[in-house]
Amino acid sequence: MSAIDKELDNMVAIITGAGGGIGEALAYELGRCGARVVLGDLTSPEELAVKLRALGIECRACVLDVTDAASIAAVVEAEERVDILVNNAGIMQPKIADHHEQDASLLPRMLDVHVGGASLMASAVLPGMSQRGSGRIINIGSVIGHVGLQRRTAYSVAKSAIGGLTRGLALEYGRRGITVNTVSPGYTLTEPLRRKMAEGTLDYALFAERSAVGRWADPTEIARVVRFLAEPSSGFITGADWLVDGGYAINGNPGESLGPLSKP
């Protein structure tokens, strides 16, 4: 690895939801840049940890439920320091349906995992970061926090609220050397979504068509932006929302084709 790849040397990064598609890409990206990565998920991502260690990346896999303060404390307190927190854990709506047909518990559940989880995680690492006078928190939002999406309103509400959390924390902790940003991915090709496409229950072209680049993202393209924001030299970027959506949200006329699709 070249010197430029070691921007995160001696840093500890916690990645929530690390067992999934974007989380896994985050683990490789932060790890390859020198960070010791702590991989948290509802089921401990042991297999991923084995693959990372084989590449010389220092890591720890653990069970982590971001909605449970005791689970969070166990993970955070096992580390001497946490320099980087990536709040990536998330859930999709179990049912795509009109809002009035959704279970009343859906919205609170979406908020609990996406916003409550990110908030609890941040509260657990902020005292140590404040004491050391440095830290990076990156919250994974979504393009759906920027545009509406019918029949997935609860998800959209939760992802929009992440922006509020990011901005408030950025203001509160900026003078303690801590930056807080949102990265909002567009449609990203993760394993569960690839499977849905293969089954024919998800239409790749429908969402690729609207984007300027004519394709979905690879998870590594999201991870690179997170890594950039995590670097010590990114200290002047805070409270921002980085839309990494291939130009999806800017399209004011999705009905008009922009030309042939690109290769994924």
Pairing, β 84-87 against β 36-41: unpaired
CB of 118 to ligand NAD, least distance (A): 9
Which residue, 130 or 149, is less far from ligand NAD as judged by CB? 149
Our finding on whether 13 is near ligand NAD (CB under 6 A) is no
Which one, of 242, 90, 118, lies nearest residue 181 by Cα? 242
Distance separating alpha carbons of residues 136 and 239, to the nearest angstrom: 11
CB of 218 to ligand NAD, least distance (A): 11
Residue given tokens 């702590």 in the structure block: 38
Distance separating alpha carbons of residues 12 and 38, to the nearest angstrom: 7
CB of 108 to ligand NAD, least distance (A): 13
Neighbours of 236 (CB within 10 A): 6
Which residues inside 166-205 make contact with ligand NAD, applying CB under 6 A? Answer: 185, 187-188, 190, 192-193
- At 179 the three-state DSSP class reads strand
Which residues inside 95-134 make contact with ligand NAD, applying CB under 6 A? Answer: 113, 117
CB of 4 to ligand NAD, least distance (A): 26
For ligand NAD, which residue of 8, 14, 19, 223 counts as binding (CB under 6 A)? 19
What is the pattern of x (binds ligand NAD, CB under 6 A) and - over residues 32-71? ---------xx---------------------xxxx----
At residue 159, what is the residue type? K
Facing residues of 136 across strands? 84, 179
Answer whether 31's CB lies under 8 Å from 5's CB.
Answer: no
Catalytic residue numbers, as ranges: 155
Contact footprint for ligand NAD (CB under 6 A)? 16-17, 19-23, 41-42, 64-67, 88-91, 113, 117, 140, 142, 185, 187-188, 190, 192-193
